[in-house]
A and B are shown apart, each in its own frame.
Chain A
Amino acid sequence: MKTYIAHRLGIGVLTLFGMSIVIFLLLRLAPGDIVEALFSAGGYVNPEERVAILRELGLDKPLPAQYAEWMGQVFRGDLGKSYRYDVPAWEVIRPLVPVTLELAILSMVVAVALGVPTGVVSAVRQDTGLDYALRVVSLAGLSMPSFWLGMVIILGLVAWLGWIPPVTYVSPWENFWLHLVQFMLPALAVGYRSSALIMRITRSSVLEVLREDYVRTARAKGQTDRVVIWRHALKNAILPVITVIGIEFAFLIGGLVVTETVFNLPGVARFLVQAILWRDFPIVQNLVLFTAVIVISVNLAVDMLYGVLDPRVRYGS
C-alpha cells in the first residue's frame, strides 16, 4: 500500500513538472503579453516604454531563464509578483482558494445528495412513471449549463423577491447564515448539473448489480428490500459513482468560472480568467499549478477509496 502511494506520488510530481512546462510555454505562445495588455488599457503603445517594462518584469530574459526563475520561486515558496497588481502573487491568490474549494465541496454535496438517492430509486423502480420522471429531471440537469441556471436564479430572485444573495463575500465568522445562503444558491446551480450525471451513473450501475447472483441470494435468504438495495447493491455499485464524483470535483476547481462570475464570488476560476486576459503570468501559472495539484490529489484519493469501499480491490505490495 505504502509503495503504491509512493509510486502514485512520484507520478504526480512528474505530472506536475510536465504541467509546469506546458503551462509556461502555452502562456508565452499565446499572442500578447502583460505590456500589450497594459498599453491596451492605456490606449496606445510607446516602444521605448514597452522595452523598459519588459525589462522591469524580467520578460526580456530567455525562456529557459524565466522558467528556471519561476521554478526556483516555487521551491522557495515564493510565487513571484503579480504583474498587474504589483504585489506578491500569493497575497492575491490566498483569499481565492478557500472560496473555490468551499463552492466545489458544497456543489458536490448537493450533487451527491440529489444524484445518488434518485439514481437508486430510478433503478429500483425501473420503467415506472417515477423512473421516467427522474430521468427527465436528470436530462434537464445535463442540458442546462450551470451558468445559465445561475443567471436564471439571479434574475428570478430579483424579479420576484427584489433580492439577490450578497454580491460581496460574507465570511462564515461574520454571518454564518448569510454565508450559507451566498454559497448554497451557486452550489445548487452547479450541483444540479453534476447530480444529473451522478444519478444516471448510479442508476445504470445499480441496475447491473441488481441482476447479480449475490443480490438474488440475499433476497432468497429473506433480506428486506432496504437491506438488499442500500447495503448490498449500492455498496457494490458505488465504485463508478465515486469515479465520476472525483472527476466532477476536479473539473469544478477550474470550471466554476461562469458560476463565480454570475454570483460574484471571489474565487480562483473567475480570477484566473481575468489574469489570463491580463497575461499576468505569475498568477496564471501558479493558479493552474494549484488546480493541477488538486486534480492529482483527488484522483489519488479516489483510487484509495476503491480499496476502502471494495475489499476485493488490493493495491500491489
Chain B
Amino acid sequence: MRTSRRVAGAAALAAVALVLLAGPALAQKSGGVINVMLREDLSQGFAIHESPTISVVWPASPCLNNLVFFDPAKPVESLDTIVGELAEKWSWQDGYRNLVFFLRKGVKWHDGQPFTSKDVKHTFDVVRAAPDAPAKLRLNPRKDWYANIEAIEAPDPHTVVFRLKRPQPSLLLMLASGYSPVYAAHVNPADYRAKCVGTGPFKLKEWKKGEYVEYVKNPDYFVPGRPYLDGLKYIMIVERGTRTAALQSGQLDVAMPGETSKAAAEQLKNAVPQLVVTPVATSVTDNIIMNAKKPPFDNPKVRLAVSYAIDRRALIAAVHQGAGVPGAAMMPRPYGVWGLAEKDLATLPGYGKPADMKARAKKLLAEVGYGPDKPLRVEMATRAIAIYVDMASFVINELKQVGIEATLKQVETAQWHPMATRGDYQIGANLTGLGVDDPDANFYENYACGSPRNYSLYCNEHVMKLFEQQSVELDPKKRLTMVVNIQKKLEEDAARPILDMRLDYFTHWPHVKGLVPHHNIYNFGRMQNVWRDR
C-alpha cells in the first residue's frame, strides 16, 4: 500500500515535471542557435562517466539524458526537485532496498536504435565495475557512488530494478547528477571519448578539437516541442580576458558555469547593463588538506591549530571580494539543504573573533612544543593556477600570524592530484567540487578511509560508522541532524578544514531565456528548455 502510494506520488511528480518540461509553450520561440562559453577542450570527449570536470559535463550534457535529473527550473537541488528524464516514474520498494524505474517508451538513440532497459543496466554495470560488466572504463572516478548496488535487473524493456545491499536513499540523488547519464549499450563506452550517441535534446554535429563543439536539434526528442533551439555551439576560449571580451561583444551568448567572478561580472554589467547576472553557488569549496599520516600533521592538535588560524570571513573578503559563503562539508544554506546553520558555524574553528581564534591556535601549537622560539616550518603545496595560489597566499599569511612559517610550492596541474593521492605533501591549499549535494557522495568520496580522493588520509572508524548510519536513515529530519553532527565532527577533527564555497556570477545575454543556473555547476546543462528571444 505504502509502495503504491509512493509510485502514485512519483507518477504525480513526473506528470508535474512533464507539464513543467512541456511548459507554457505560448511565449517561447523556436529556432536559432546560441553560442556557449567553454574554457578548455573536452578532456575525455563526451565520456562523462570517465570524467570529473565541468569542462566535459557542461558541453556533453545536451547530448545525453539521465534516468532522473534535477528540475532545470529550480536552482536549489534536493530529493524534492528530482524529475524524470528517461524514467517516467520510479518507486522505492522493500524498505529502500530496491529502486524500480519505469522507463519512457518510444525513446530513440541518435543513431535510430531504440532505448531500452538494457541500456540502463549496461551503463550502471559498467560504472560500478560489476564482475559481469560488458566493458571497463579507462577512468572510473565515481565507481564508489554505486558500491551499494548488488545487482541491476532488466525484467522487461521498460523496467529496471536497482537491488541494493542496504537501504540508501541517496542513490536517487546520485542518479540525478549531471555525472550520471545513460550510455547506449550498443556503443563501446570508450567511443564516447570521440563521439556522442545519446538520447538528449541535441545531436552532435561536429567536435573540432581545440575549437568548438556544435550540436543540432534532435527532431526525435521524446519531450514534445523540445528543444526550442535549432542548435548550440560551445566555443572554446582558453584566455580568460578573451572569454570575457567575447561575452561582452556578443560573440558568446552564455558564460560557462563557475567562470564569472564578481569583479568580471561587475565589469561586464558596467559595459553592457542589459546582461543578466545571477549569483549562484558553485558547489566548489576552498579547503586545506593536511597529510594526517606524516608529521607534523599526524598530530590532531597541529591540524586544529591550522584550522583555528584561518579567518574564513577575512578570506572571503580578501580573496573573493565577498563572493563566497562560509560553510562546512555540505553546501551552505540556502544554496543547499544539508548545510550548517549560522549558530552551528559560529562554534567551529575559524569562525569566532579572529584574535580569539588565533590565540587558540597559538595555545594548541604551544601544547605540542611550537612557539616564537621554535616556529613550525612547513611546505604549503598548491596547484599552479591563480585561483589556488591566491587562496594559498592568504592562508600562508594567516599561518604566519600564529607561528607557522609556510613556504609556497606550486605544483603543475598534471602533477597535482597524483601528488595529493600519493600523500606526497605536508599541507596543501585545495579546491573540491561536489557533483551532487548529497552526504553519501561527499562523505564517502572525500573523508572515508581508503578513498583515493581523501587526500588528507584522515581515517576515523567512529566517523565511518556515522557515515553508515546517516546513509541508511530513512527519516529525512533524523538524517539531517546526523549529517549536521558529522560535519561539525569533521571540522572539529580538522579532517579537511573547509574555508568557504565560491560563488559564481553566471552571466548571459537577455535574449537567452529559460536557462536557470543551479547552485551546482554540474547539473543544469541539458539546454532543452532554453530558447532565444530574437
Closest to A46 in B: B452
Residues of A within 8 A of B422 (CB): 45
Contact code string B372-386 (vs A, CB < 8 Å = 1, else 0): 000000000000000
| A276 to B109 alpha-carbon distance, docked (Å) | 36
| A46 to B144 alpha-carbon distance, docked (Å) | 13
Decide yes or no whether A126 CB sits under 8 A from chain B: no
B41 and A274: CB pair below 8 A? yes
Decide yes or no whether B159 CB sits under 8 A from chain A: no
A158 and B249: CB pair below 8 A? yes
Residues of B within 8 A of A239 (CB): none
Decide yes or no whether A185 CB sits under 8 A from chain B: no
A270 and B210: CB pair below 8 A? yes
Contact code string A80-122 (vs B, CB < 8 Å = 1, else 0): 0000111100001001100000000000000000000000000
| A31 to B414 alpha-carbon distance, docked (Å) | 9
Decide yes or no whether A264 CB sits under 8 A from chain B: yes
Decide yes or no whether A262 CB sits under 8 A from chain B: yes
Decide yes or no whether B257 CB sits under 8 A from chain A: no
Q: Give the A interface residue count (CB, 8 A).
A: 48
Decide yes or no whether B52 CB sits under 8 A from chain A: yes
Contact code string B229-267 (vs A, CB < 8 Å = 1, else 0): 000010101110110011011111000000000000000
Contact code string A275-293 (vs B, CB < 8 Å = 1, else 0): 0011100000000000000
Residues of A within 8 A of B271 (CB): 158-159, 162
Residues of A within 8 A of B413 (CB): 37, 40, 277
Closest to B44 in A: A41
A31 and B141: CB pair below 8 A? no
| A45 to B418 alpha-carbon distance, docked (Å) | 6
Decide yes or no whether B108 CB sits under 8 A from chain A: no
Stretch at the interface among A63-71, A165-173, A246-254: A165-173
Given known A85-B194, A264-B239, contact A164–B418 (CB-CB < 8 A): no
Residues of A within 8 A of B50 (CB): 42
| A47 to B510 alpha-carbon distance, docked (Å) | 48
A-B contact count (CB 8 A): 139
| A38 to B141 alpha-carbon distance, docked (Å) | 11
Contact code string A120-157 (vs B, CB < 8 Å = 1, else 0): 00000000000000000000000000000001001101
Residues of A within 8 A of B418 (CB): 32, 36, 39-40, 45
B235 and A261: CB pair below 8 A? no
Do most interface residues of chain B lie in helix, strand or loop, or is the interface mixed?
loop
A45 and B417: CB pair below 8 A? yes
Contact code string B412-456 (vs A, CB < 8 Å = 1, else 0): 111111100110000000000000000000000000000011000
| A45 to B419 alpha-carbon distance, docked (Å) | 9
Given known A40-B413, A154-B245, A169-B211, contact A270–B139 (CB-CB < 8 A): no
| A53 to B388 alpha-carbon distance, docked (Å) | 29
B138 and A53: CB pair below 8 A? yes
A154 and B242: CB pair below 8 A? yes
Q: Give the most central of A31, A38, A151: most B CB within 10 Å.
A: A38
The distance from the CB of A108 to the nearest CB of chain B, in whole angstroms, is 24
| A41 to B433 alpha-carbon distance, docked (Å) | 12
Residues of A within 8 A of B245 (CB): 154-155, 157-158, 164
Decide yes or no whether A75 CB sits under 8 A from chain B: no
| Known pairs A36-B418, A37-B413, A42-B141 / 9 extra A-B pairs, C-beta < 8 Å | A43-B417, A52-B138, A85-B194, A86-B194, A166-B251, A168-B233, A262-B239, A270-B210, A274-B40
